[in-house]
Amino acid sequence: MDPRFRAVTTVIRVPIPVGERVEAALERIRGRWPVHVFYPASSMHVTVLNLDPYVPSSGTSDAAVAAMEAALSRHRMFRITLRGLDVSPWTVFAEAHGADAPVAALRSSLRRALPAQPDAPRRDSPLRRALPLVLANVVRFGGSVDPALLRALRPWRSHAFGPFEVREIEIVRTDGMLSAENTELLSAVALRA
C-alpha cells in the first residue's frame, strides 16, 4: 500500500476485545506468513462507505462533514456479530453478520447527502452497490498466498468472535489500515437509541 495514500471514509470500530479474539485466531498464521499485513485490534473496523467518489481526501469541507453527520445521525444503533474468517483476492476478512440492512441504509443516506465528484480518484461502481458486502478486513496480503495459509484458515470459517452494539459511526481521513499515526478523526456521529 502506498504510504502517501489517504482517503475519507466512514467506519464502525470493532471493539478491542472482539479484535483481540480475531488477533488470537491469526497468531499462528502471522508467525508462519509474516509477509502479509495484519491489522492490530485497535485498527479493525467495518467500512460503511469509502467517500472517495464524494469528497476530496485533502481539504474535506466543514459543509461535507456536516452533511455526513446529519445523514448518519438519523439512524438507530444496531448489533453486529463478527463470525467466520474468509478470503478475497487481497485480504482475509471477518464476516459482519446482522449488519447488511443497517449498513445498506447508512450507505444510501450518505450517497443521497453527498453529490458525486466529477474528478474523483475512484468511482462508486454499480458492482459495489449491487454487492453490499459488510466485513472487517483483518489481513492484507503483502505477497503471494500460500495454499497452506488458506487451509490454516479453515477452522475459523464459522467461528464466532463476538457480538457488539454499533453506537457511533466515525468519519475519518486515513491510510486505509486505520493506523493510529495516519488516521485523523473528522467526526464521531452517535446513532439514535
Each residue's pLDDT tens digit, 78-87: 999 999 999 9
- What domains are there in the chain, each with its CATH number? 7-190 (3.90.1140.10)
Read off the pLDDT band of 130 (50, 70, 90): low
pLDDT, tens digit (0-9, with 9 covering 90-100), for 20-66 = 999 999 999 999 999 999 999 999 999 999 888 887 666 678 888 99
Write down the pLDDT at residue 129: 59
**C-alpha dihedral, 164 to 97 to 13 to 165, nearest 10°:** -30
Task: Give pTM, 2 decimals.
Answer: 0.89
Write down the pLDDT at residue 74: 97
Question: Does the pLDDT value for residue 67 go beyond 90?
Answer: yes
Residue 143 DSSP label: S
Write down the pLDDT at residue 3: 57
Q: Is the backbone of residue 176 left (phi > 0), alpha (psi -120 to 50) or beta? A: left
Measured distance CA(151)–CA(153) in Å, rounded: 5
